[in-house]
Structure 1
Amino acid sequence: MRIRVKIKHLVFAAASIVILLACYFTVIDPALNRYAAKQTIERGGVPAKEALLARFANAKDGQEQWELTRTYILGDGSDSIVHGFDVRIGPGTSQSGGSADRKQPRLTWEEKLPYLQSYAENGPSGGDLYSAVKQLVLYYNSTGQPELALRVLKSGRARTTNPWESVRYGIDQAKQLVSMNRYEEASEMLEEILSSSEKTRDYTVLQQVTALQAAMLLREGNLEEAIAKVKADEEDYKRELEKLDPAAADAKNSQVDHQMESLQGLTDQLESMRNEQGSQLRLSSVSGTVKRSDGKPMGQIGVYLRQEAAVFHSVIEEEPYQVLTDAEGRFAFSDVIPGYYQLFIGLDYEQIDGWAWPTRANEWIEVKSGESLSRSVTLEPLITIVGPVNNEPTTGNAIHFEWEPVDGAAYYELSGYVHIGGSSSGTLIRGRIKDHQADVPLTELEASGGGIQYKSVDGTVGGKQIPDPISLLGYAYPAGKFSWSVEAYRADGTMISRSNGYRLNTDTVGELPFFRLSGRPLTEADRLLLADKFDEALTAYKKAADANAEDTHSLRMIMRVYDAKSSMDRQSTDEAAMMPYLKRLYALVPSGQYLFRLFEYEAGARDWAEAEKYYASYVAHNPEKDHSYADAIYAGGLLEQGKYAEARELLLASVQVDGSHRFVGDLLAAELLLTDGFESAIELATRYPEHEFGQTMTNWLALVRAMKQEAEGKPDYQSHLRQAIEWHYSGNGAILKSWQDESKEKAMNDFLRRLEEVD
């Protein structure tokens, strides 16, 4: 059958095709392009950023551009100098704030700047506008344009209709004015904020206002006024809080309580400064650069100068010293209160990928009064590992570890990790390795042990926790997942680089540092342990050890199970029952770890002859290793024996090596026992302040100074102090407590109480 088409139908069809093509090119094709670009962005990779920038460039109108800005620029956390980075790195710690598998591209400041400016000028008001303004303020300040930062803050505040947002803008505007030394304008702004906050009494706002007012007083040299201001406001807020809600005043976890603690911390810091330098205030400055070892400056990096009391938690926005580096990687903090600080940096994954900042936990910056201090950060390339890698199984009685040599390295330290589920625990396998390789016997690897990890008995998050048997077996668990890392050090003990770090693309990921151990079967005792039958497993291990005098595995596991049981019972390990097995194990595997455990036990049992024997063996076993902790423990024994001069010498050597200065209290006690007056103890307390990580630190300098003041006009004061210290170390705690209960010497009692906490 022939199909006949009339001419008019052909004309209509042709016209329809033209219309459809026009519609395709004007409506459908751009929509498909936007959809394809969106899919490319979500898939990530190098094309993702190009696709995103193309979407911005081809936005059909301002509304679409603002939506893109909200989705891809304002939602990335960059309005916060704290939360705008994937990683924050400091001495001995790394805090992750992003996702390692983040696919959404993050634009550079130069790429997003025009869209931020457009949104700040014409975008809708609200929280997103505030985010755009905050990002611009960070950028303008980091590029030396504080007037532009102030202008955009004023513009944002003028556009908002929300009273709370107006307060937020006002606080930021006051901070900006303070940084520009425009104190009169800042004071007027703060007074305006206080009057607008009277109805709500928002204590977060009030705390920030007080902190800014104190900062201005300090910058003008008015230390006493700053202290009086903070104290008065603190008491005022407490009274107001009790009126509004008395129960909230004691709510230790409430937001209000957090603000009160912030004010108390500020008061303590100001009073400490007054004790250090009197009322004559001289603030300081800290500056430097962040760069890579190949010379590349790290621009727009977050830098945080963190106060001593703050380094034990994550970086928060309330901390006062935070800046972005400029294009040359430079940063500077002015008007820094004298004290001890640590430097942290914030980076995106792309910036840290393949690089490391080699720092250790006790690297402190002492900022002295009126000082201009320079401290810089240099990122080093991660160490390349050779083997074992990629979960390859290892056989034989030893494992060969190897890595690429590092220029300037005097020695290396090798660490291992036991992985269980999503967690891991690590320990040092061997230190002071001179070569870029090491053959480690399995007995040495197993002796390095690992930390005890815990699991829930019923599998729930809040359920009862018991030691995970896999973590107790450690490297002796044949189905275990293990990894390793290496660090390189100069002869002076400063770290050069490490192998552990962020490796996020094919160019930097390299070989994976995982390995498996094969060959050793599980014993009957191991199976009992894996079934959580700790008592039965301990009996079985003892039986096996008694049957085979060279069964190092069973001897080691006896120690591990005793430690696990003590952690469950919240009691000290039954050292007396464990010691015979530990001594047998040390005879077979002369590990430094076992030696230290023997020394610690004998010192605790006050068998000084045996303790001295094991201490001497431990030092001889580790001639180049840092044994400052063992030195301090042994010195404590010398103090108990009345050998004060020997103890002082050993404690002084210990605190000079141990940056935490955790035993400085014992050193000061020895000094006070051996010398007249307080001057030499004050000098030592000044030189070696306590910095113990994660603990409530003791201000020993303040304690000794308080005793010096308390001793004035009391000729018998120091002889009473010496007697009390001797009672403390000789085990006469009951006599000491009775004396303290009757004593009216507050400063002396404070010192003695803190001495009891030294460990």
Structure 2
Amino acid sequence: MRLRVRTLAGMLVTLLLLGWFGYKELPSFLYHQGYYQALLQWFPNDNYARPAINRLAMDIANQTGRGESDYIFVKSSGGASSSGTGNTKLDLQERADVIDKLEKLLAQYGHTEQMTNVSYNLALMHFWMGNWDRAESLLHEMDRMGGAEWISREEQKAYLAILESRHAQEGKASLEGVVRIGDEPVPNAFVMLQRTDDSTYYSPPLTHYPATMTDENGRYRFYGIDSGEYDVAVGVRTEQISGYYMTESESKSVVIDGMATAGHDVLFVPQVIAVSPGRKELIQGDELRLRWKPYEGAVYYKLNISYLYRDRNGKYTGAATTALSDQKYTGQEATFSISERNRNYNMYGKSYGQDGEVTLNTAGLLGMLYPGGEFAWSVDAYDEHDRKLSSSAGYFLHEDAITPIFRVEDNGLSEGDRLVIAARYEEAIAAYTLEGNNDHALRVLARLADQGIGKEDGNPAEALAYMERIQEPGESDKEFINLLRERIEKKRV
């Protein structure tokens, strides 16, 4: 009888211990299985509570981006950058639904230290959606909540400074101006300042530089800016400037002297209209004819060509632009020989993928308008003072852009050329080598050797050896040979 009681007691203790261990491990199980709501309901003070709240918020927020990618930042000195690469078309209802879910999560668990990261992500979603007051109140509330280690306090302060710039400030402004698109002032646009001698650039850029917002009349003001020379950048929604271009001001930069208020207005004007070749047009034969509409106030035009970068899966990743010609055109049409343009190899470029793979600029290897290539073209309009009035380029070269993107038929491509286009450089070198003293093959081999097909630098001596075998060198060949010789001589010194 005693043995049976002891056995039962032992079993009971074992069950209790198993139950206790099971209870202690239950939060871990719930967290790793994704049962965040149950974990927060039953174990609100467990160590897994905070990561569970954050994971729950991330699962909600990941349904859509915050909205940074819907903005583009255009600099007065030229150039533009976006804060993301996603679809730039806003799905306002989807984002509103996500914000509503995060607001309910915050209301359910309160403004506590554990909710710091949730509150911060919610504030930024409100910020990029244009809900300025709510974003500002959340960022202020976070100072009371604590949890500083879970967010960037510098970034929080930067966002707060931008939001607080909407309110009236005392004192004399360091810089002021108006932002307009066409004839209309632009309210709630971001305006940033970057020193002209600052070669670094952050993306997204907004919180890394002094920034403010325009009022309902499109006017902006900066206060307390250190003396110096600055570039001005304007951040607006992408759809706001679709079809517009930032016209060149008398001065591309602004000088702040700490005494008088400097002024700098920003104006986006209608783009120049490119007529042909149109989007997705296939160019056959050796002639490329470009046509565009006249632009009011323009005295002459200049033409550019952009080579589109795609990764090895065919996804668009960027573009490199260069002048198609140095000539100034006074009419609205220009004609080029594709074969002559392909003697130009000035579009060098080397990029590295996440897995370390190397991709070279194909136009820098096969020629400016190489067969089988995909290109965009643009025309810039200038006045009698050589000021750029506008351009057909705009700021978008992705799949949904209105920029005219054309293709050149792939007739005449060698096996080596096709391998270069496919970024299979080792195989391309072997194929070109089999061609012997073919001038085109030697040119490509020289440029592959000069740039290097891996992470290491190229070999100018090897490149020169290929170039010196060319039987009928042109002017660009001679220039490249001289450049290689100069580089080899500098290495010797």
Q: Same fold (TM over 0.5)?
A: yes
> Per-residue displacement from partner, 1:474-517 (whole Å, max 9, x unpaired)?
45653332332222223333322222235799xx9657332323
**CA shift for structure 1 position 394:** 2.3
> Per-residue displacement from partner, 1:456-486 (whole Å, max 9, x unpaired)?
8xxx842453647676224565333233222
- The equivalent of 1:305 in structure 2 is 193
- The equivalent of 2:409 in structure 1 is 517
Match of 1:496 among 377, 386, 389: 389
Match of 2:87 among 101, 107, 113: 101
The one-letter amino acid of 2:281's match is: E
The one-letter amino acid of 1:371's match is: A
The one-letter amino acid of 2:334's match is: A
Of structures 1 and 2, the larger Rg is shown by 1
**CA shift for structure 1 position 434:** 2.5
In structure 2, relative to structure 1, the CA distance for the partners of 1:502 and 1:182 (3 Å cut) is closer
Q: Which ranges of structure 2 fall in alignment gaps of 5 or more residues?
A: 1-58, 311-315
**CA shift for structure 1 position 89:** 2.0
- The equivalent of 1:544 in structure 2 is 438
> Per-residue displacement from partner, 1:371-425 (whole Å, max 9, x unpaired)?
3211111112222211112332323332111111222223222222334533444
> Per-residue displacement from partner, 1:311-341 (whole Å, max 9, x unpaired)?
5222545535111111111111111111222
In structure 2, relative to structure 1, the CA distance for the partners of 1:153 and 1:168 (3 Å cut) is farther
Q: In the TM superposition, what are the counterparts of 1:359-378 in structure 2 within 5 Å?
A: 363-378=252-267
Match of 1:319 among 201, 205, 208: 208
CA contact (8 A) 2:450 2:458 kept: yes
The one-letter amino acid of 2:442's match is: I
Match of 2:322 among 413, 417, 427: 427
The one-letter amino acid of 1:570's match is: D
**CA shift for structure 1 position 94:** 2.1
- The equivalent of 2:341 in structure 1 is 445
Establish whether residue 487 from structure 1 lines up as the match of residue 380 from structure 2: yes
In structure 2, relative to structure 1, the CA distance for the partners of 1:476 and 1:407 (3 Å cut) is closer
Establish whether residue 567 from structure 1 lines up as the match of residue 463 from structure 2: no
**CA shift for structure 1 position 604:** 6.7
- SS for the counterpart of 1:559 is helix
The one-letter amino acid of 1:495's match is: K
CA contact (8 A) 2:305 2:321 kept: yes
**CA shift for structure 1 position 284:** 7.3
- The equivalent of 2:3 in structure 1 is none
The one-letter amino acid of 1:156's match is: E
Match of 1:89 among 67, 74, 78: 74
In structure 2, relative to structure 1, the CA distance for the partners of 1:528 and 1:383 (3 Å cut) is closer
- SS for the counterpart of 1:561 is helix
> Per-residue displacement from partner, 1:669-726 (whole Å, max 9, x unpaired)?
xxxxxxxxxxxxxxxxxxxxxxxxxxxxxxxxxxxxxxxxxxxxxxxxxxxxxxxxxx
- SS for the counterpart of 1:430 is coil
In structure 2, relative to structure 1, the CA distance for the partners of 1:332 and 1:523 (3 Å cut) is same
CA distance in 2: counterparts of 1:181 and 1:510, whole angstroms: 40
Q: Determine which structure has the larger strand proportion and give its number.
A: 2
CA distance in 2: counterparts of 1:310 and 1:326, whole angstroms: 28
In structure 2, relative to structure 1, the CA distance for the partners of 1:599 and 1:488 (3 Å cut) is farther
CA contact (8 A) 1:534 1:565 kept: no
Establish whether residue 296 from structure 1 lines up as the match of residue 281 from structure 2: no
Higher RCO (Cα < 8 Å, 6 or more apart):
2
In structure 2, relative to structure 1, the CA distance for the partners of 1:122 and 1:158 (3 Å cut) is farther
CA distance in 2: counterparts of 1:176 and 1:605, whole angstroms: 52
In structure 2, relative to structure 1, the CA distance for the partners of 1:333 and 1:438 (3 Å cut) is same
In structure 2, relative to structure 1, the CA distance for the partners of 1:450 and 1:141 (3 Å cut) is same
CA contact (8 A) 2:303 2:325 kept: yes
Q: Which ranges of structure 1 fall in alignment gaps of 5 or more residues?
A: 1-69, 184-218, 220-282, 546-553, 607-730, 735-759
The one-letter amino acid of 2:457's match is: R
Establish whether residue 532 from structure 1 lines up as the match of residue 460 from structure 2: no
CA distance in 1: counterparts of 2:356 and 2:397, whole angstroms: 36
In structure 2, relative to structure 1, the CA distance for the partners of 1:154 and 1:376 (3 Å cut) is closer
In structure 2, relative to structure 1, the CA distance for the partners of 1:92 and 1:156 (3 Å cut) is same
CA distance in 2: counterparts of 1:182 and 1:448, whole angstroms: 55
CA distance in 2: counterparts of 1:304 and 1:450, whole angstroms: 33
- The equivalent of 1:254 in structure 2 is none
The one-letter amino acid of 1:312's match is: T
CA distance in 2: counterparts of 1:396 and 1:559, whole angstroms: 23
Establish whether residue 331 from structure 1 lines up as the match of residue 220 from structure 2: yes
CA contact (8 A) 1:85 1:346 kept: no
CA distance in 2: counterparts of 1:536 and 1:320, whole angstroms: 50
CA distance in 1: counterparts of 2:341 and 2:272, whole angstroms: 22
> Per-residue displacement from partner, 1:143-164 (whole Å, max 9, x unpaired)?
xx9xx999x4797358747576
**CA shift for structure 1 position 96:** 1.8
> Per-residue displacement from partner, 1:616-653 (whole Å, max 9, x unpaired)?
xxxxxxxxxxxxxxxxxxxxxxxxxxxxxxxxxxxxxx
The one-letter amino acid of 1:484's match is: W
**CA shift for structure 1 position 299:** 1.0
- SS for the counterpart of 1:336 is coil
**CA shift for structure 1 position 572:** 4.8
- SS for the counterpart of 1:299 is coil
**CA shift for structure 1 position 565:** 0.6
CA distance in 2: counterparts of 1:534 and 1:133, whole angstroms: 52
CA distance in 2: counterparts of 1:166 and 1:510, whole angstroms: 39
CA distance in 1: counterparts of 2:160 and 2:192, whole angstroms: 21
Establish whether residue 285 from structure 1 lines up as the match of residue 174 from structure 2: yes
CA distance in 1: counterparts of 2:197 and 2:188, whole angstroms: 26
**CA shift for structure 1 position 437:** 1.4
CA distance in 2: counterparts of 1:158 and 1:528, whole angstroms: 57
**CA shift for structure 1 position 166:** 11
CA distance in 1: counterparts of 2:152 and 2:425, whole angstroms: 59
In structure 2, relative to structure 1, the CA distance for the partners of 1:159 and 1:543 (3 Å cut) is closer
- The equivalent of 2:244 in structure 1 is 355
CA distance in 1: counterparts of 2:80 and 2:176, whole angstroms: 22
In structure 2, relative to structure 1, the CA distance for the partners of 1:175 and 1:391 (3 Å cut) is closer
The one-letter amino acid of 1:396's match is: G
In structure 2, relative to structure 1, the CA distance for the partners of 1:97 and 1:525 (3 Å cut) is closer
Q: Determine which structure has the larger helix proportion and give its number.
A: 1
**CA shift for structure 1 position 304:** 0.6
Root mean square deviation, CA, Å: 5.3
Q: In the TM superposition, what are the counterparts of 1:469-488 in structure 2 within 5 Å?
A: 472-474=365-367, 477-488=370-381
Establish whether residue 344 from structure 1 lines up as the match of residue 330 from structure 2: no
- SS for the counterpart of 2:394 is coil
**CA shift for structure 1 position 350:** 1.8
- SS for the counterpart of 1:562 is helix
> Per-residue displacement from partner, 1:95-124 (whole Å, max 9, x unpaired)?
2224553554348xxx99xx9xx99x9895
CA distance in 2: counterparts of 1:384 and 1:300, whole angstroms: 28
CA contact (8 A) 1:389 1:514 kept: yes
CA distance in 1: counterparts of 2:247 and 2:471, whole angstroms: 38
> Per-residue displacement from partner, 1:156-207 (whole Å, max 9, x unpaired)?
3587475769995996899699989999xxxxxxxxxxxxxxxxxxxxxxxx
